[in-house]
Amino acid sequence: MKRVNKLVCATGKYTDNNGNEKTSWQTIGFVLDDGGKKKIKLDSMPLSNEWDGWVTIAPLDEERKPQQQSNSPDVGW
């Protein structure tokens, strides 16, 4: 199976260093292509009180390198 999209959800808001309000995004899984059939694989579910139940199908970021684990919000898709 090939990953074709990722599943993300907004888990809150934060203010960046320039004073702009931004949305915190958490990747919770992927959309996979299994021989023409689309499947969803959930790896996690957000526990944030601010999560409204909506999941967004977002493009994969193939060119992004994996980031080291940190306490900063998962920003960007």
Which tens digit of pLDDT belongs to each residue from 5-56?
Answer: 999 999 889 999 999 999 989 999 999 999 999 999 999 988 878 788 899 9
Stated pTM of the model: 0.70
Q: What is the DSSP code (8-state) at residue 73?
A: -
**Is residue 9 packed enough to be buried (19+ CB in 10 Å), middle (13-18) or exposed (0-12)?**
buried
Structure tokens given for 74: 């998962």
In terms of pLDDT, which residue wins out, 62 or 67?
Answer: 62
Calpha distance 5→54 (Å, rounded): 16
Tokens linked to 1: 């199976």
- Report the C-alpha gap between 4 and 18 in whole angstroms: 34
Q: Residue 26 corresponds to which tokens in the numbers above?
A: 């958490």
